[in-house]
Amino acid sequence: MKETDLPCSRCGTALVERSVPTDQLAIATPVQDRVQVAVCPGCGAHYYPEQTLTMLAAETTHSSTHGNN
């Protein structure tokens, strides 16, 4: 089951999968790419699929341990 198979927890509307640039995320990240999110067309809520969170967490950890010297 994918996150987009579930309804929005705020309003119950069906979610749609979107690819968004990381600079448009509500969280700061060193990743310069596009990531998959689930978006509610009814209320605008965003949901982050597990694979997106895993990728962002790995890049953030990598960046903080191998950052600027």
Which pLDDT value is given to residue 68? 47
| CA proximity to 31, closest of 48, 6, 15 | 48
pLDDT per residue rounded down to tens, the chain (69 residues): 777 789 999 999 999 999 988 888 777 777 778 889 999 999 999 898 888 888 888 876 655 555 544
Cα four-point dihedral sign 22, 29, 39, 11: negative
Report the CATH number at residue 20: 3.10.20
Q: Where in the sequence is the domain holding 21, given as residue range(s)?
A: 3-65
The domain tally of the chain equals: 1
What is the pTM (predicted TM-score) of this model? 0.71
Helix/strand/coil for 49: coil
Q: Where are the alpha helices (DSSP H) in 1-69?
A: 50-65
